[in-house]
Amino acid sequence: SIEHVWWFYIVMEGFWSCVTLVGLLLLGAGCNGVKSGKKTLVLLENLSMKETHSMFFGDMKSRGYQLVFKMADDPNLAISKHGEFLYDNLIVFAPSVEEFGGTVDVSAITDFIDHGGNVLVAASSEVGDVLRDLGIEVGLELDERETFVIDHLNYDVKDRGEHTLLAVDPANLIEAELIVGEKPSAPALYRGLGMIADPDDPLVLEIMIGSTTSYSYFPKERISEYPHTVGKSTLLIAGLQARNNARVVFSGSIDFFSNKFFASSVLKAVPGAKEFDVCSNQQLASALLDWVFKEKGVIHAEEVFHHRIGEEDPPHAYTIMDDIHYAIKIQEMVGGKWVPFTAEDVQLEFFRIDPFVCIYLNKSEDGLYYADFKLPDVYGVFQFKVDYNRIGYTHLFSTTQVSVRPFEHTQYERFISSAYPYYVSSFSMIFGVQIFSLVFLHFRDNTKTKTD
């Protein structure tokens, strides 16, 4: 009968949903092997790079990254499928590629960045157009093909006479431990092209810059025109933290990450320079990796609390000159876990077009930053604004909109002390009129009786 058929359907449906559930669980378990944020696509120019840069990739693997190596011009290349991104990070070690394969192009990569993906790019003097275009998208202008950064005063002794193998002093690194790690003592080796930052882009970070004597030009030609970059404006390694906190690092040198450089000693070709057995490249690359793939410097605001002192919940609207308590819970990602963030310089602004209150927040042990303060004597729609923007950290921006209303008619003081003379005068007036009318009426009665 029909009823039986229905039963059958229901049973079958239950069965299939069980199967799907189990499948999903298995899938989830399978994925558990790779931690989130670690799936990385590596685009290579040729497969031999796997060998020439094996120290770098080995370092990554040992840290739990799941690396997927592809040729940059692989015709089946894709970083997204059905609107979902397949990877968390992207490494482009393909300096000379003119065009990516498959569905990958500059706009696909920028889209990847705009959806939170992190990108590490290394170029070289054989740079192809596609990387130059990508550079433009992240606020960097790469110099032409065949050019090198040249520095006649800061080159390594192993240089072959063109002064393109630079020994970059640690002083040329950005002052941010989160990005470049602990300042190394040895110089870094660098061979590649120079970049300049777009002056309109406020987000570009100058991670490693050339020294004052550096410039970027064709090493074999006479200088006939002004070089593309000169002195400290020459960027060797540049970074960008987008507004959605996606991170991009652009290096002008692919050799910077190579086994050869990692293992090389360094001696600056100037009299009296100290020789180091190992240059700082590996140390720097490792620190950069931490930063660009968000192992470090990731903070977020977990919760915001605010209420009047002595109360528990935020009111519908505050009243001017209320004493209030504000707290924000800030956490930092350390080793894949959120732990309380520690800093001394977190500020709170109470903001309405301009800040009306601007104070440092106090810190308690559990990552709670708090302050008690008095609201200004101004009504309007305000924002609690914590805008913690420090180089290396993700941009922490938290606003909470609250209304601040003026006093209600019952909240004003009932008697004003300076008005006591007026109270006295009005009551004495009332009293006087009473007396007067009494006397007046009484007097009238008497005369009437007399005249009568």
Partner 1 sequence: MASSLKLSSFLARLGIYRVSSEKQETLLKLMVLSTAAILSFSTRLFAVLRFESVIHEFDPYFNYRTTRFLTEEGFYNFHNWFDDRAWYPLGRIIGGTIYPGLMVTSAMFYHVLHFLNITIDIRNVCVFLAPLFSSLTVIVTYHLTKELKDTGAGLVAAAMISIVPGYISRSVAGSYDNEGIAIFCMLLTYYLWIKAVKTGSLFWSTFCALAYFYMVSSWGGYVFLINLIPMHVLALMLTGRFSHRIYVAYSTVYTIGTILSMQISFVGFQPVQSSEHMAAFGVFGLCQIHAFLDYLRSKLSTKQFETLFKLLAIVVGVAALIAGGVLTFMGKISPWTGRFYSLLDPSYAKNNIPIIASVSEHQPTAWSSFYFDLQLLVFLFPVGLYFCFSKLNDQNIFIILYGVTSIYFAGVMVRLMLVLAPVMCVLSGIAVSSVLSLYVRNLEYLDTTKAKKAKKMDPSYPVKGEIAGFVVLMMTFFLVTYTFHCTWVTSEAYSSPSIVLAASQHDGSRIIFDDFREAYYWLRQNTPEDAKVMSWWDYGYQITAMANRTILVDNNTWNNTHISRVGQAMSSPEDKAYEIMRELDVSYVLVIFGGLTGYASDDINKFLWMVRIGGSTEKGSHIKEADYFTPQGEFRVDREGSPVLLNCLMYKLCYYRFGQVYTEQGKPGGYDRVRNTEIGNKDFELNVLEEAYTTEHWIVRIYKVKDLENRGV
- Which residues contact partner 1 (rule: CB under 8 A)? 110, 113-114, 137-139, 198, 200-204, 240, 242-244, 246, 317, 352-353, 379-382, 401, 403, 405-406, 408-409
Q: How far is the CB of 105 from partner 1 (least distance, A)?
A: 16
Residue type, 326: Y
Angle value at C-alpha 309, between 409 and 315, nearest 5 degrees:
55
Cβ distance 251 to 291 under 8 Å?
Answer: no
Q: How far is the CB of 138 from partner 1 (least distance, A)?
A: 6
Q: How far is the CB of 347 from partner 1 (least distance, A)?
A: 20
Considering beta carbons, is residue 150 or 197 the nearer one to partner 1? 197
Phi-psi region of 197 (alpha: psi -120 to 50; beta: other; left: phi over 0): beta
Q: How far apart are CA 245 and CA 355, in angstroms?
A: 25
Considering beta carbons, is residue 23 or 406 the nearer one to partner 1? 406
* Nearest by Cα to 113 from 135, 94, 129: 135
Q: What is each CA distance from 274 to 142, 187, 214, in whole angstroms?
A: 32, 10, 21
Considering beta carbons, is residue 342 or 389 the nearer one to partner 1? 389
Strand 66-71 to strand 39-44: parallel, antiparallel, or no bridges (unpaired)?
parallel
Q: How far is the CB of 432 from partner 1 (least distance, A)?
A: 17
Phi-psi region of 275 (alpha: psi -120 to 50; beta: other; left: phi over 0): beta
C-beta atoms surrounding 23 within 10 Å:
10
Considering beta carbons, is residue 35 or 352 the nearer one to partner 1? 352
Considering beta carbons, is residue 342 or 403 the nearer one to partner 1? 403
**Tokens matching residue 342:** 């520690």
Q: How far is the CB of 240 from partner 1 (least distance, A)?
A: 7
Cβ distance 188 to 281 under 8 Å?
Answer: yes
Q: How far is the CB of 379 from partner 1 (least distance, A)?
A: 6
Considering beta carbons, is residue 84 or 354 the nearer one to partner 1? 354
Q: How far is the CB of 145 from partner 1 (least distance, A)?
A: 24
Q: Where are the alpha helices (DSSP H) in 138-267?
A: 177-180, 259-263
Q: How far is the CB of 111 from partner 1 (least distance, A)?
A: 10
Considering beta carbons, is residue 188 or 402 the nearer one to partner 1? 402
Q: How far is the CB of 78 from partner 1 (least distance, A)?
A: 22
Q: How far is the CB of 230 from partner 1 (least distance, A)?
A: 23
**Phi, psi dihedral angles at 107 (to 5 degrees):** -70, -30
Considering beta carbons, is residue 70 or 132 the nearer one to partner 1? 132
Q: How far is the CB of 42 from partner 1 (least distance, A)?
A: 22
Q: How far apart are CA 26 and CA 373, in angstroms?
A: 53
The alpha carbon of residue 326 and the mean position of all alpha carbons in its chain are separated, in whole angstroms, by: 23
Considering beta carbons, is residue 339 or 381 the nearer one to partner 1? 381
Burial class (CB within 10 angstroms; exposed 0-12, middle 13-18, buried 19+) of 231: middle
Considering beta carbons, is residue 46 or 403 the nearer one to partner 1? 403
Cβ distance 34 to 66 under 8 Å?
Answer: yes
Cβ distance 141 to 206 under 8 Å?
Answer: no
Can you count the helices (H) and strands (E) in the chain?
Answer: 9, 27
Cβ distance 396 to 330 under 8 Å?
Answer: yes
Residue type, 348: L
Considering beta carbons, is residue 241 or 264 the nearer one to partner 1? 241
